């Protein structure tokens, strides 16, 4: 992955979040406060604006800057969670304008670890972790069996989408949706859904 691809991923993620903002807001209206689409759209638009016209020398710097922007621009749980994940990803990458696949795997692991550390969610708690964990597993498996970035990203995108769908029957144990108790059952988690969009964006730009 090089700097141009990292920028393309974030732009594609911003485009997907903008296009699906209404869906994310609708899902968050059912089990949260209805701001997830607006929150993320504002955050990713700021990420793109902050990176436009810049020429970062290292892949890691792209993600650190994006994460810092998300933390400062997005209120609610998802801004700090996604922001910390991107910052951790960026910091874990070795310095350089291009990083290899094992480094990306390690970086994504650092990103998920940051989400876990900050939010304390485990798989099954009906959060973005339920899309991120299977996406990362699929990514890692594909790389271990010799797959390239495009095939790893495609496997991750599919696993994230399945993971997001699988949150529907779950009862939320973390975040705002957990206040609903059993009434959170029967709705797809908004954060897991946006995580699936972000992995799909990576698959789109690497295909």
- Does 32 help bind Mg ion (rule: CB under 5 A)? yes
Q: For residues 56-95, which are near ligand ADP according to CB under 6 A? A: 76-78, 81
* Residues in Cβ contact with 185 at an 8 Å cutoff, skipping those fewer than 6 apart: 169, 170, 171
Cα–Cα distance for residue pair 15/13, rounded to 1 Å: 5
Cα–Cα distance for residue pair 134/44, rounded to 1 Å: 23
* Helix, strand, coil percentages, rounded to 5, for the chain: 75, 0, 25
User: How many helices (H) and strands (E) would you count in the chain?
Assistant: 9, 0
Distance in Å, CB of 138 to ligand ADP, minimum: 19
- Does 122 help bind ligand ADP (rule: CB under 6 A)? no
Distance in Å, CB of 55 to ligand ADP, minimum: 31
Q: Are 43 and 20 in contact (CB under 8 A)?
A: no
- Segment near Mg ion (CB under 5 A), from 10-18, 31-39, 120-128, 142-150? 31-39
The gap from C-alpha 183 to its chain's centroid, in whole angstroms, comes to 26
Contact map string, positions 34 to 73, toward Mg ion, x by CB under 5 A: -xx-------------------------------------
- Does 119 help bind Mg ion (rule: CB under 5 A)? no
Quick one: tokens of 50?
């902050």
Please, which residue, 30 or 101, has the CB nearer to Mg ion? 30
- Does 75 help bind Mg ion (rule: CB under 5 A)? no
Q: For residues 183-202, which are near ligand ADP according to CB under 6 A? A: 189-192
- Does 203 help bind ligand ADP (rule: CB under 6 A)? no
Cα–Cα distance for residue pair 188/43, rounded to 1 Å: 22
Quick one: tokens of 45?
């638009």
Distance in Å, CB of 118 to ligand ADP, minimum: 7
Interface size with Mg ion, residues (CB under 5 A): 5
Q: Indicate the burial class of 150 (C-beta count within 10 angstroms; 0-12, 13-18, 19 or more).
A: middle
Distance in Å, CB of 189 to ligand ADP, minimum: 5
Residues in contact with ligand ADP by CB under 6 A are 28, 32-33, 35-36, 39, 76-78, 81, 115, 119-121, 127-129, 174-176, 189-192
């Amino acid at each position: 992955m090089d700097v141009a691809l990292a920028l393309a991923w974030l732009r594609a993620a911003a485009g997907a979040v903008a296009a699906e903002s209404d869906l994310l807001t609708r899902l968050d209206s059912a089990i949260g406060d209805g701001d997830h689409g607006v929150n993320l759209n504002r955050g990713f638009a700021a990420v793109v604006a902050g990176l436009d016209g810049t020429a970062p020398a290292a892949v890691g710097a792209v993600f650190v800057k994006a994460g810092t922007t998300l933390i400062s621009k997005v209120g609610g749980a998802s801004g700090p969670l996604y922001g910390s994940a991107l910052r951790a990803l960026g910091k874990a990458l070795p310095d350089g304008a291009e990083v290899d696949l094992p480094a990306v795997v390690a970086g994504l692991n650092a990103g998920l670890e940051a989400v876990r550390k900050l939010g304390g969610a485990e798989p099954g708690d009906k959060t973005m972790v339920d899309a991120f964990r299977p996406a990362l597993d699929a990514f890692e498996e594909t790389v271990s069996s010799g797959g390239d970035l495009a095939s790893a990203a495609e496997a991750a995108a599919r696993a994230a989408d399945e993971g997001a769908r699988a949150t529907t029957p779950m009862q939320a144990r973390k975040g705002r949706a957990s206040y609903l108790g059993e009434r959170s059952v029967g709705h797809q988690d908004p954060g897991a859904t946006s995580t699936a969009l972000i992995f799909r964006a990576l698959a789109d730009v690497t295909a």
